[in-house]
Amino acid sequence: MASEDVKRSESAVTTIVNLAEEAKLASEGVKAPSRAFLSICKSLVAGGVAGGVSRTAVAPLERLKILLQVQNPHSIKYNGTIQGLKYIWKTEGFRGMFKGNGTNCARIIPNSAVKFFSYEEASKGILYLYQQHSGNEDAQLTPVLRLGAGACAGIIAMSATYPMDMVRGRLTVQTEKSPRQYRGIFHALSTVLREEGPRALYKGWLPSVIGVVPYVGLNFAVYESLKDWLIKSKPFGLVEDSELGVVTRLACGAAAGTVGQTVAYPLDVIRRRMQMVGWKDAASVVTGDGKSKAPLEYTGMVDAFRKTVRYEGFGALYKGLIPNSVKVVPSIAIAFVTYELVKDVLGVELRISD
């Protein structure tokens, strides 16, 4: 009887232990997707906030850059950074400085959210494949692999939000003297669809795809590589406890932005000019107030390059580069730092809630 009682007790204990393990596994199985989902949301929110804050901070320079890129070469209104900003202030006031910024934020918030999230996921996937291929589980991403991850993220984000970028370009160059006004994002989208067809929403998409590879790719590659180098070498006492300060991160972001935008800038000019093609009752800055020649029509990216260089010279491919350089350095730097700071804040909140 005693031996039977012992066996029954052991059986009961084993059953309880098994049930406890199953409950633990089940609990972990429920929590894992929840944490993964929160991690995804954290990346998306951080990316969106980073994009909105950085673009709003440099909105006047962003608008001036586009005006310089697309203005009629036979009727120059904007002639340099300082003069251009003064002219906008004089003719359109404070609101003119931020014209198109609402549309830009509506576009850049989902764009940045998708871009940063895509970069993190692409980096994980590429790193996993690289470790499997090399047989080294401790291998880290090289600058070339970061370039690939950044390029993938840029293409995905840009393609997903390109129609909004196209209408944002047109809204940005509108002035009070434009023959007809787009009243907002949805009015512009519906007007373009009705008058020019759905393909018009992707005018300039090809140079954007080509340009986004060096631009976004180099941004991420240079930024991450600089961070890693600084953390490992610790020059000039810039690193404390394997962490970079905000100022150092700003400098890394500024360097990344400068390299990326310089390489890809001519493609950005061509993209903007292609977006203006086929615009009925186009803005006066594009047509030259009807006093001069109408803007050139382009049949494609190569034709746009050829005509721009032929009629305006090679320097036309870099119109607006100065305000863009002034803009892109703080913009990219603020975006990277804001992204990481928001992620840190959300990470703390998530840990507290756990």
pLDDT computed for residue 296 by the predictor: 64
Give 23-71 pLDDT, tens digit per residue: 444 444 444 446 667 777 777 788 778 878 888 888 999 899 999 998 8
Q: Where are the domains of the chain?
A: 8-93+325-348, 100-173+178-198, 204-276+281-318
How far from 317 is each of 81, 271, 272, 304, CA to CA, in Å? 16, 11, 11, 10
pLDDT computed for residue 21 by the predictor: 52
Decide if pLDDT at 255 tops 60: yes
pLDDT computed for residue 202 by the predictor: 93
Give 314-352 pLDDT, tens digit per residue: 999 999 988 888 886 677 778 878 888 888 887 754 443
pLDDT computed for residue 306 by the predictor: 92
pLDDT computed for residue 19 by the predictor: 46
pLDDT computed for residue 7 by the predictor: 47
Which of 4-8, 169-173, 176-180 has the largest mean confidence?
169-173
Between 272 and 253, residue with greater pLDDT: 272
pLDDT computed for residue 342 by the predictor: 84
To the nearest whole percent, how much of the chain has pLDDT over 90?
17
Mean pLDDT of the residues in the chain: 78
Which of 116-130, 207-221, 241-255 has the largest mean confidence?
116-130
Between 35 and 105, residue with greater pLDDT: 105
pLDDT computed for residue 140 by the predictor: 84
pLDDT computed for residue 240 by the predictor: 64
Decide if pLDDT at 119 tops 70: yes
Q: How much is the average pLDDT of 106-124?
A: 83
Q: How much is the average pLDDT of 73-99?
A: 89
pLDDT computed for residue 148 by the predictor: 83
Q: How much is the average pLDDT of 145-161?
A: 85
pLDDT computed for residue 29 by the predictor: 47
Q: How much is the average pLDDT of 282-311?
A: 75
Where residue 145 falls among pLDDT bands split at 50, 70, 90? confident
pLDDT computed for residue 289 by the predictor: 59
pLDDT computed for residue 27 by the predictor: 45
β-bridge mates for residue 239, sequence order: 244
Which of 25-29, 182-186, 217-221, 329-333 has the largest mean confidence?
182-186
CATH code linked to domain 204-276+281-318: 1.50.40.10
Decide if pLDDT at 281 tops 80: no
Where residue 173 falls among pLDDT bands split at 50, 70, 90? confident
d(CA 200, CA 219): 29
